[in-house]
Amino acid sequence: MTDNIEETEKKPFTNAEKQKRYRERQKLKGMKETRGYLSPEALKCYQLIAEQTNWSDSVILSNAVRLTYAAYKNGQIGLLNKWLQQHKL
């Protein structure tokens, strides 16, 4: 009976393969990966938001972009920038 062992056993994926599959699934969902560096002020804000909301990096970034766009569309981008400068954020 041991002679008939199936050779079709699936080999586990490597971490790189898992990451590639994850990125492909995200693209199919219409998601876009972005990368960048945070200023010390932005990092402070990020840490506070993450602590208070338990949001993932993706949710924080998505909401930040959406809120910035909302401020822009409502003519409040100047007010937002002024507030950030006044509070050194």
If one counts the domains in the chain, the total is: 1
Q: Is residue 77 part of a domain?
A: yes
Per-residue pLDDT tens digits for 17-46:
999 999 999 999 998 888 889 899 999 999
pLDDT of res. 60: 94
pLDDT of res. 11: 83
Rounded to whole angstroms, the Cα distance separating 23 from 18 reads 9
Alpha-helical (H) ranges within 29-75 are 40-53, 57-73
Q: Is residue 6 part of a domain?
A: no
Rounded to whole angstroms, the Cα distance separating 57 from 86 reads 26
CA distances from 27 to 21, 30, 55 (A): 10, 5, 21
Q: Is residue 57 part of a domain?
A: yes
Q: Is residue 7 part of a domain?
A: no
DSSP one-letter code for 34: -
Q: Is residue 4 part of a domain?
A: no
Per-residue pLDDT tens digits for 1-17:
555 555 567 788 899 99
Domain span at residue 78 reads 12-86
- CB contact set of 34 (below 8 Å; sequence gap of 6+): 61
